[in-house]
Structure 1
Amino acid sequence: MKIHPLITNSQDLADLCARLAKSDFVAVDTEFMRENTYWPELCLVQIANTEEAAAIDPMAQGIDLSPLLDLLTDNEDVLKVFHAGGQDVEIIYNATGRTPHPIFDTQIAMMAISQSEQIGYSNLVESWLGITVDKGARFTDWSRRPLTDRQIDYAIGDVTHLSKIFPKILKRLVKTGRGAWLNEEMEKLADPENYRNDPAQAWRRIKASGRNPTVLGRLKAIAEWREHEAQSKNIPRGRIARDETLADLAGHPPRQQADLAKVRGLSQGWKDNEIGKRLMATIAGAQSLSEEEMPPRTPRGAPLGKEGALVADLLKLLLKIRAREIDVAARLLSRSDELEMLAAGVRKNLAVMQGWRYEVFGHDAVDLVEGKLAFAVENGKLKMTHVDDAKQGDDGIAEQADSQATP
């Protein structure tokens, strides 16, 4: 494989992208910094196919990233391969308002062919290629220039390894016939709604107890205010105020600005500075949440009672058994909250009750809840047994014994 020197000019990048556009797939990775900024700062992009690989410096003066971004977001003929690519996709979305498509994530794919829930990149490389990844450059400052040879070699290794691993994973998926299982998961990863940052919806990410419309309306206003403050200063939202501080302000609003000095998580200066004044104006202008905006009531967390909780535990045991039997990550089949809903009698609008998940696991889960499935130990291993099948087997043995006992 040809490894190019660090690309720092528009022409070399355009030429590279023109060649890569003829590939079936490209492996992609990014290096970025986000500890001190609101928006992640893109510092390096690595890309490879089976023939060549390169690292691109998006911080190089005058470089035009359009050919690269167009390749990633507009070219439907080239599959974009990532590993744990959520943050990479977010960065591309922030730059373009679009997400890479079609997309393939090797971390997600491993869930369909192994019991790995979230396999790390180093472990992925070790298991498929037998190579130990040098992690020495992992936590360096990628925004500093010039980049060292060690940093660039480490970064390009991410995509050269990935370009070799992807065909192997794809071959395994084809062999097991589980490729279709991943379609929904990959589309979720590429869904722009996952990355659209609407300050008016920021309150939904904050844990708040209760369903008081006034309190939630106040939380919505404060959370939106914090997003705008953080964006304008380009600093992490937590540097303005932490989530728990916002929840406290929403539930126990200060009567006057001087009271902000008593709020845990805010500095004394807020009692008479401009940001404190803006916060108080936001609190004063907050409106109660409308009925349409109220978070939906869901069965999640509904009391199951002792028997229901036991059923939920049995469902989780069943999930572990089935995941082990077919060598798949349990989380790909179902989540714990879905199993609790099943135990509570819910059947509608659950992923486990639809499509391949129902065929592979859901119908057995329902049978367990309805008393049609039991656990048994065979050769020292726990397995599932349908009650009807077991009963028929017992009846057959009994009939055979009776016939032998009859003179």
Structure 2
Amino acid sequence: MHIHDLITDTKTLAALCERLAKSEFVTVDTEFMRENTYWPELCLVQIADENEAAAIDPLAKGIDLSPLLDLLTDNEDVLKVFHAGGQDVEIVHNLTGKTPHPIFDTQIAMMAISQSEQIGYANLVESWLGFGVDKGARFTDWSRRPLTDNQIEYAIGDVTHLAKIFPRILKKLVSTGRGVWLDAEMEKLADPANYENDPAIAWRRIKAQGRNPAMLGRLKALAAWREGEARHKNIPRGRIVRDETLASLAMSPPKKQADLTKVRGLSGAWKDNDIGKRMMKVIEEAEPLSKDELPERGRRGAPLGKEGALVSDLLKLLLKIRSREIDVASRLLARSDDLDALAAGMRDLPLLKGWRYEVFGKDALEVVEGKLAFGVQSGKLVMTHIDDMPENGMNGGSRRNKESARDNASESAA
């Protein structure tokens, strides 16, 4: 593979992107700094295909990233491959209002062919290529210029290694027939709505107790106000006010600005400074949250109760065993709150649709409805329909052992 020198001009970048546009896929990674800013500061972009790789300096004087951004967002013929690419996609969205498409994330893909929930890049390289990755440059200041040869070599390695790994992962997905399992997950990663940071819904990221409309209305107003302050100053939102402080203010709002000195997490200066004045105005003018915006009770609605909690525990055991049987990350099959919801009586759930239903949801539903019992024999899951059980329990020829059916389902899913 040909490794280019650091690209610092538009002409060289445009020529690179013209060649890469003829490839079936490109691997992409970014280096950025966001510790001191609201918006992540893009410091380096690495890109490769099977033949060449380069690092691009977005901080170089006069460089225009348009050829690169057009390749990532507008060229539908080239698959864009990332590893744990959420923050990389966010950066592209911040610059263009669009996301890379079509897209493939190797961390997500590993969930369909292994029990790895969130495999790190170093572990990915070691498992597929058999060597370790030098992490020495990982936490360096990527905004400082000039970049060292060690920094550039480390950064480009992220995409050259990925260019070797991706075809192998793809081959395994094809051989197992599990590629279709990932379609919705990849589209979710590419959904621009995930990266828009709408101030009106910023309150949903903050943990707060209760469903009191007045309290949640204040939280919504305060969270939106904080987003505006952080964006205007381009500093992390936590440097304006921390989440727990916003929740406390929403729960027990001060009556006057001088009372802000009593709020944990605020300095004494808030009692008479301008930002304190602005925040008090927000609190005073906040409207109660509308009924349509109120969060659902519990995780998804109806409370579980004691019996429901026991059923949920059985479902979680079933999920653990099934994911081990077919070598897939359990989180790809079902989330914990989905199992709670199923035990509580809800049915409009992802695990009861499509391939998830065939692989796991069908049996999970029958457990909830009392149609299926399961146990473990010799480390393998054995399931029996209640109608097939003799009066004196499970034994002999009257048991319908679904172990072989599960194996067949695994092979067909594969």
Determine if the TM-score, normalized by the shorter chain, exceeds 0.5.
yes
Partner of 2:379: 381
Q: Is the 8 A contact 1:375 1:382 kept in 2?
A: no
Partner of 2:42: 42
- Report the alpha carbon displacement of residue 295 of structure 1 after superposing the two structures with TM: 2.7
Q: How many residues align?
A: 396
Give distance in 1, aligned partners of 2:373 and 2:352.
20
Partner of 1:156: 156
Give distance in 1, aligned partners of 2:48 and 2:396.
63
Partner of 1:315: 315
- Report the alpha carbon displacement of residue 390 of structure 1 after superposing the two structures with TM: 5.8
Partner of 2:351: 352
- What do you get for the CA RMSD once the two structures are aligned? 1.6
Q: Is the 8 A contact 1:111 1:332 kept in 2?
A: yes
Give distance in 1, aligned partners of 2:164 and 2:17.
20
Give distance in 1, aligned partners of 2:332 and 2:95.
30
Give distance in 2, aligned partners of 1:300 and 1:222.
25
Partner of 1:361: 360
Give distance in 2, aligned partners of 1:241 and 1:300.
29
What SS is found at the alignment partner of 2:62?
Answer: coil
Q: Is the 8 A contact 2:37 2:235 kept in 1?
A: yes
Q: Which amino acid aligns with 1:352?
A: L
What SS is found at the alignment partner of 1:54?
Answer: strand
Structure 1 residues 85-94 or 293-302, which shifts more?
Answer: 293-302
Among 388, 391, 394, which residue is 2:389 paired with? 391
Q: Deviations over 1:133-187 (max 9, x none)?
A: 0000001110100000000000000000000000000000000000000000000
Q: Is the 8 A contact 1:29 1:47 kept in 2?
A: yes
Q: Deviations over 1:171-228 (max 9, x none)?
A: 0000000000000000000000000121122111111211221111111111111111
Give distance in 1, aligned partners of 2:220 and 2:228.
13
Counting only pairs closer than 5 Å after superposition, residues 2-401 of structure 1 correspond to structure 2 as 2-297=2-297, 300=300, 302-348=302-348, 350-378=349-377, 380-387=378-385, 391=389, 394=395, 396=397
Q: Which amino acid aligns with 2:60?
A: A
After superposition, the Cα gap between the structure-2 partners of 1:306 and 1:64, relative to the gap in structure 1 and judged at 3 Å, is same
After superposition, the Cα gap between the structure-2 partners of 1:261 and 1:372, relative to the gap in structure 1 and judged at 3 Å, is same
What SS is found at the alignment partner of 2:291?
Answer: coil
Structure 1 residues 207-216 or 229-238, which shifts more?
Answer: 207-216
Q: Is the 8 A contact 1:29 1:45 kept in 2?
A: yes
Q: Which amino acid aligns with 1:241?
A: V
Structure 1 residues 302-311 or 66-75, which shifts more?
Answer: 302-311
What SS is found at the alignment partner of 1:59?
Answer: coil
What SS is found at the alignment partner of 1:95?
Answer: helix
What SS is found at the alignment partner of 1:38?
Answer: coil
Structure 1 runs of 4+ with >6 Å offset:
none
Runs of 5+ in structure 1 lacking a partner?
399-407
- Report the alpha carbon displacement of residue 32 of structure 1 after superposing the two structures with TM: 0.4
Q: Is the 8 A contact 2:206 2:243 kept in 1?
A: yes
After superposition, the Cα gap between the structure-2 partners of 1:150 and 1:395, relative to the gap in structure 1 and judged at 3 Å, is closer
What SS is found at the alignment partner of 2:84?
Answer: coil
Q: Which amino acid aligns with 2:104?
A: F
| TM-score, L = length of structure 1 | 0.94
After superposition, the Cα gap between the structure-2 partners of 1:306 and 1:297, relative to the gap in structure 1 and judged at 3 Å, is closer
- Report the alpha carbon displacement of residue 395 of structure 1 after superposing the two structures with TM: 6.6
What SS is found at the alignment partner of 2:281?
Answer: helix
- Report the alpha carbon displacement of residue 397 of structure 1 after superposing the two structures with TM: 6.8
- Report the alpha carbon displacement of residue 386 of structure 1 after superposing the two structures with TM: 2.1
